[in-house]
Amino acid sequence: MNILIRPPLRRDLSLEPVAQSLTSTIEAGVSTIFVGLAEDPYVLQQRNPALFDMIAAEYPQVTHSVHGGV
């Protein structure tokens, strides 16, 4: 006879810390991209032209100097 014993489920476990950690990681990555873009936009334009073009389409004032502005 094979009896499976399941431990009781803990209902007090929360995914909130995991979600907060994931959100913080994403926010840090986005911040890093924009800081790098502000410091030297040419690097992003050369390394990832598709991402640069998406940012330029949404935030033209951020990439203005790369496209021949001041």
pLDDT at position 59 = 85
Q: What does the pLDDT look like over 19-63, one tens digit per residue?
A: 889 999 999 999 998 888 888 888 988 999 999 999 889 988 877
Confidence of residue 13 (pLDDT cuts 50, 70, 90): low
Residues 69, 62 contacting (CB under 8 angstroms):
no
SS (H, E, C) the chain: CCCCCCCCCCCCCCCHHHHHHHHHHHHHHHHHHHHHHHHCHHHHHHHCHHHHHHHHHHCHHHHCCCCCCC
* Amino acid of residue 20: Q
- What's the confidence (pLDDT) of residue 18? 83
Residue 2: the pLDDT is 62
| Per-residue pLDDT band at 67 (split at 50, 70, 90) | low
Give the predicted TM-score (pTM) of the model: 0.56
